[in-house]
Structure 1
Amino acid sequence: MNDPTDSLIPDWLRHPSARKRIAVVHAGPIGLATAMLLARRHDVRLQDARTHWVEQINAGHLPPDEPGLQERLSHHCDGLQATTDLELAVDEADYVFVTTPTRFDKAYGSVDTSALDTMLQEVRLINPGATLVLASNPPVGYNQYRTRLTGETSPPIVLPTPLRPGHVFQDRWHPQRLVIGECSQRAVYLALLLRDCLLRPGVPYVLTHATEAEAVFLFEQKRELLGGTLSQAEVASYANRHGLDLGQILEALAMDVQPELGHVHTPDRMPWAQTVPYRPDHLTPST
């Protein structure tokens, strides 16, 4: 049977030799795992401000300690180059994956996203034509709120990153499915680009709205803590209270509704992720 998305596949995805130019910002575990994955098929520049970190990556020495990483860097990542120069990494990129982390602010009791905000603004100024991908697990509602304040017509596509500490590379390279936080043709292109780089062919993908994608990982964290079971009423109540699409959330979580039990059974769990509230007071609208 033909893939129903075949008609949406652009020419550059139909031909393996058509490599894209991709930038990944911040060489933390998520950024490095993402860059290594994409470098299997494309030319990737990984940017990080830490000189010693960049030198280690270019020398083939990976800071995170996970089994099999060194071999993967040596044999599967010929297209990866690390740099401290943000403009060099981003300027001619077709896609820019921003993995800048957020910080929990104890004084506010919420997540401070100021570093992420600044990086998104800088990247957009350097390369306004690139497809921006937000891959740093922002808090629920972040992308929508930021888009409303900045007035962007092409906001970042949310790529939720449910990666367990200590298993980041394994989870990035072997996901059960891909969740893309935008319902558009360019989101389909992104899903197909990522799927083409995975080690397992035919991984399914789910398109949701941005806030629904962010909300999925609020429940991923709780599901992990509860051992694979979530209250169906709680998920529905949260979605209704915040005006979210419950169907999209359930599909992204691969939930199997069982009304007679009052629970949503989740036999195919995605890895752990963390989502906490944030404070948006540092965001500034565009002029």
Structure 2
Amino acid sequence: MAQGRRIAIYGAGYIGLVTGACFASLGHHVTVVDIQQERIDMLNAGRVPIYEPGLAELLRDHGDRLTFTVDGRTAAARAEVVYVCVDTPPTVSGDADLSRVWNVVRVLEGAERLQAVVTKSTVPVGTGARIRAALDGMGLVAVGYGSNPEFTAEGRAVGDFMNPDRVVVGAADDATARLIAEIHQGVNGPVVVMDVESAELTKLAANALLATKISFANEIANLAEAVGGDAASVLQAVGMDHRLGAHFLNPGLGYGGSCFPKDTTALKTLAGSAGYHFQLLAAVIEVNSLQQRRPVIRLKEALDGLSGRTVAVLGMTFKPGTDDMREAPSRVIVGRLLAEGATVRCWDPLAPDVSGAEPWSATTRHHSPIEALQGADAALVATEWPALQQVPWQEAAAAMARPLLFDGRNALDPAEMTAAGFTYLSVGRADLPPR
């Protein structure tokens, strides 16, 4: 194991906390900085403000090498390496909001021990050059700069960090590249070194390609519904081609979360700002937007209108294994159901309290799927939580006003659902009546 470095990580969100905990497990001394005092107080009290499998255990087991603070300037003064892991949300124009990144850069002035600044946040190509110029302007000419984008998926972020497909290191000089590679010693994955601009583009390109596969799968599913055929069988066979691969070829409700929507938009905006119309990506984004509305159209047709109907939405987070609600398809679905005049009842095992936010303020939250289904005219699976496999569906069908279910994730067995008495609708497959 390499000699432990003193690392300051700015941002105590999903990426910052996972990065900090994993670096601590590798023997480094880590200070995690955040502007939210409440979040830092929780961490200092041993409570984790987000849900991510394995994270709480890492923070507990390596707490002797972890510090949490809101004092960014002191953390920078003591650090050898600074990692920027703050949010970069899209602005009205579609560009990334880099205000939090620049807030971190400003506190670095006078950091005498600092050897390198590394950005893990997703930023537009060219951001690194601007940060390099800012560091030079503050007299930090000898401080290296690097881009080390993250490729972790929520719900398995710890495993992705420690056993990655690759560790991408973008650096303008060999010394910085070696330093970033060194602090990753113990991580089980190859290090790929490139220039900063290429590293910045790699993150956007990877997520855009994954989003493209998701939208393609949904287009095939929609076509299968129109002409016949089972999209799941088609895409399984397609994915067996070694040139293509099966990952992300599952039809459903489209992509969501903190990365795909933001990064596809960011790459499209970047291309437009460079004078290039990224036609493929524009179509990918449009397909995803329409896909999130299709379940409401299907239920509206099946119920001969949604006004006055009650719909149970099963799942609120953008995917199982996380409590993250950002850009979840359920938000669009619920908004559309309410706009059509439906009453919406929701269930999710991990989603945070969002009762004060739109559109959730007009819904009711329930403790179990059965409770949410009570008296409903239809059910809609929006997140494929494993708990749905344990629902007594025959009992659920009897509890509903009408046993109609749209499985937006193709998570349930069609034969079992029809045997339980449901009219079963899904994505890319024929509708099935109850048996």
What letter matches 1:61 in structure 2?
R
Instruction: Determine if the alignment matches structure 1 residue 179 to structure 2 residue 168.
Output: yes
SS in 2 for 1:161: coil
Aligned match of 2:159: 170
Structure 1 residues 59 and 174, CA, compared in 2 at 3 Å: closer, same or farther?
farther
Would the aligned equivalents of 2:115 and 2:144 in 1 still touch at CA under 8 Å? no
| 1:9-28 equivalence runs, <5 A | 13=2, 18-28=3-13
Give the Cα separation in 2 of the matches to 1:125 and 1:269.
46
Aligned Cα RMSD in Å? 3.2
Aligned match of 2:145: 156
Q: Which runs of 5+ in 1 are unaligned?
A: 1-11, 231-263, 281-287
| 1:39-58 equivalence runs, <5 A | 39-40=24-25, 41-58=27-44
Deviations 1:98-139 (A, max 9, x none): 112212111x23112122123112224444733111111111
Structure 1 residues 130 and 104, CA, compared in 2 at 3 Å: closer, same or farther?
same
Aligned match of 1:140: 125
Would the aligned equivalents of 2:52 and 2:155 in 1 still touch at CA under 8 Å? yes
Aligned match of 1:259: none
Give the Cα separation in 2 of the matches to 1:92 and 1:86.
10
Aligned match of 1:73: 59
Give the Cα separation in 1 of the matches to 2:208 and 2:193.
22
Aligned match of 1:190: 180
Give the Cα separation in 1 of the matches to 2:130 and 2:99.
14
Number of residue pairs matched by the alignment: 226
Structure 1 residues 122 and 220, CA, compared in 2 at 3 Å: closer, same or farther?
same
Measured after TM superposition, the shift of residue 155 of structure 1 is 5.1
Deviations 1:145-192 (A, max 9, x none): 443576564452111112224443332233121000115132122112
SS in 2 for 1:143: helix
SS in 2 for 1:171: helix
SS in 2 for 1:91: helix
Higher Rg = 2
Structure 1 residues 265 and 155, CA, compared in 2 at 3 Å: closer, same or farther?
farther
Aligned match of 2:415: none
Give the Cα separation in 1 of the matches to 2:246 and 2:184.
20
Aligned match of 1:285: none
What letter matches 1:185 in structure 2?
A
Measured after TM superposition, the shift of residue 67 of structure 1 is 2.2
Q: Which runs of 5+ in 2 are unaligned?
A: 217-241, 249-258, 274-435
Aligned match of 2:68: 82
What letter matches 1:180 in structure 2?
V
Deviations 1:55-109 (A, max 9, x none): 2112221111122222222224431111111122221211111112212111x23
Deviations 1:199-244 (A, max 9, x none): x3xx21000100100111222112212339x9xxxxxxxxxxxxxx
Q: Which moved more, 1:71-80 or 1:81-90?
A: 71-80
Instruction: Determine if the alignment matches structure 1 residue 91 to structure 2 residue 77.
Output: yes
Q: 1:61 aligns with which of 42, 47, 60?
A: 47
Q: Which moved more, 1:29-38 or 1:81-90?
A: 81-90
Give the Cα separation in 2 of the matches to 1:155 and 1:95.
9
Structure 1 residues 129 and 207, CA, compared in 2 at 3 Å: closer, same or farther?
same
Give the Cα separation in 2 of the matches to 1:138 and 1:269.
25
Structure 1 residues 84 and 217, CA, compared in 2 at 3 Å: closer, same or farther?
same
TM-score, scaled relative to structure 1: 0.68
Q: 1:123 aligns with which of 96, 100, 108?
A: 108
Aligned match of 2:96: 111
What letter matches 2:104 in structure 1?
M
| 1:262-277 equivalence runs, <5 A | 265=243, 275=263, 276=266, 277=269
What letter matches 1:131 in structure 2?
A
Give the Cα separation in 2 of the matches to 1:268 and 1:210.
31
Percentage of identical aligned residues: 25
Measured after TM superposition, the shift of residue 267 of structure 1 is 5.5
Give the Cα separation in 2 of the matches to 1:34 and 1:23.
11
Give the Cα separation in 1 of the matches to 2:90 and 2:23.
29
Give the Cα separation in 2 of the matches to 1:176 and 1:147.
28
